[in-house]
Amino acid sequence: MAKATKTWKIGEYCKGGIITVEITGKVISIIGKEWDTSTGYNKKSNQSNAKEWTRGTMEATQSNAYRLCSDFLCDLTTSYYAGQVMEWIESKVKFEKEVW
């Protein structure tokens, strides 16, 4: 099963400052993390020990998975950064078509 992970150190434009996405097969986990200030404040600081404070998990096979991911991200950050994260997610997993 393919696994992909990416972290965005967004900072002040994101609740907590960090978003990590983990994709395992069709399961997408979006994780909000608190910035670890003990390692520094700039984007090059090591944030590998940042504490998780929220998580949303969806399956790409759900009919509304795209909307669930997008809504969760928009609650964490601006629409610009949510769009950047969604672009990466879409490059890794194929969403089912939403049924209206």
**What is the tens place of the pLDDT at every residue in 30-79?**
999 999 988 888 888 888 889 999 999 999 999 899 999 999 999 999 99
Q: 59 by DSSP, 3-state: which? A: strand
User: Mean of the per-residue pLDDT values for the chain?
Assistant: 92
Q: What is the pLDDT of residue 86?
A: 97
Q: What's the average model confidence in pLDDT over 13-40?
A: 95
Q: Are 18 and 33 in contact (CB under 8 A)?
A: yes
Is 20 a residue whose pLDDT tops 70?
Answer: yes
Cα gap 77→13, rounded to integer Å: 6
pTM for this model (two decimals): 0.91
Q: What is the pLDDT of residue 96?
A: 80
Every domain of the chain and the residues it spans: 3-39+51-92
Helix axes 79-92, 65-76, angle to 10 degrees: 140
Q: What is the pLDDT of residue 63?
A: 87
Is 100 a residue whose pLDDT tops 70?
Answer: no
Q: What is the pLDDT of residue 40?
A: 81
